[in-house]
Amino acid sequence: MVTAVDRATRCIAGHAVVPQRSFEVLQEVVDQGPQAAQYFSDGLAAYADVYYRSAAYTAVLDKSQTYSVEGDNAELRHYLARLHRSTRCFSKCLKALQRAVDLFVHFWNVRQLRQRTQPNYPVNLVDCVCLRV
């Protein structure tokens, strides 16, 4: 799984569900998101070849600049049992996992934007899901 996070809103700006990170996948995720002033990564060599639309790129080996994406990845693992570490509840079907992550990302971003517009009201992830009977 590859994710790109907007630090200001904590929204997931781009994501891909893939078995391993490659240059093509990384370029697609960067292209999905809006133009950023600066990009940070965990130092994987494939990130150095990605085109960042004339923005600065820095590889950081510690978590000092990647804490936003690490936090959102932790939320993904928390809410989606398919992504838990060392679990039996993993997806064998990549398409099913992609759909589950797409759904989560949509409601996660709705929640993050609602929290920014209404900071005095607590917003749970389930509050952003409209249930129709």
pTM (2 decimals)? Answer: 0.83
Q: How confident is the model at residue 89 (pLDDT cuts 50, 70, 90)?
A: low
Is residue 133 scored above 70 in pLDDT? no
Whether 124 is in a domain gets the answer yes
Whether 133 is in a domain gets the answer no
What is the share, in percent, of the chain residues with pLDDT greater than 70?
91
- pLDDT tens for each residue of 43-53: 899 999 999 98
Is residue 131 scored above 60 in pLDDT? no
Domain count, the chain: 1
Q: How far is CA 21 from CA 1, 74, 117, in A?
A: 8, 18, 34
In the prediction, which pLDDT does 124 show?
82
* Boundaries of domain holding 106: 2-128
Is residue 73 scored above 80 in pLDDT? yes
Whether 26 is in a domain gets the answer yes
Burial class (CB in 10 A: 0-12, 13-18, 19+), 125: middle
